[in-house]
Amino acid sequence: MATSLVRLSQSIDPIAHWASDRGTLLVVVIEDYIGHEDEVADLLAQFHSLKVNAIFVPPLASNHSMSQSHFAVLSKMLAESGLETKWFALLDDDTFFPHLEPLSTALSSLDYENKDLYVGGLTEDWGSLTRFGLMAYGGAGVYLSAHLARKIGNLDQLLQCIEESPP
């Protein structure tokens, strides 16, 4: 997830609904992290008090757009995960899951062990379609099999992807 401090603080309750006590890690790039370290620490403490396992990090580069930071968070997710991780999710800050079991069931039914899987819905935003092309992102999330995430999420590969894509 990549977002601003304000938007993340506004999303704490919906995120806690689906992420609390799940044994998963929420990694968030906070665009305005630098210069707001005390507020970031306070917000992280609130997430932890709601039993959301989260870490907050500054953007990889100050010149990255929000969409580039949204993708760049994958490198931190990989650094914080182990070999037991099967899926990586890139989510918007306003994503809400009433219940995670249907999503978990759907993802586990896919042949993800040794395949490069990129799962998500096509955006409905015409401007984004014309700018970025036909791809899934945002909304309820994009889910990458660990096999694919480990290929594209190493820092050098990730920076090359960001450099080649529009901001």
The yes-or-no verdict on residue 28 having pLDDT over 90 is yes
What is this structure's pTM?
Answer: 0.85
The yes-or-no verdict on residue 137 having pLDDT over 70 is no
Per-residue pLDDT tens over the stretch 77-121: 999 999 999 999 988 888 888 888 899 999 999 999 989 999 988
- Residue of higher predicted confidence among 36 and 133: 36
Q: What is the pLDDT of residue 138?
A: 62
Name the residue type at position 121. G
Percent of the chain with pLDDT over 90: 51
Per-residue pLDDT tens over the stretch 52-61: 999 999 998 8
Question: Residues 6 or more apart from 107 whose CB is under 8 A from it?
Answer: 86, 87, 119, 143
Give the residue-averaged pLDDT of 138-166.
Answer: 83
- In sequence order, what are the beta bridge partners of 118? 144
How far is it, in rounded angstroms, from Cα 132 to Cα 120? Answer: 15
Dihedral Cα 30, 149, 153, 133, nearest 10 deg:
-80
SS3 2: strand
Strand order of the β-sheet with 2-3 is 2-3, 26-30, 54-57
Residue 89 phi/psi, 5-degree rounding, is -115, 135
- Residue-range domains of the chain with CATH: 2-164 (3.90.550)
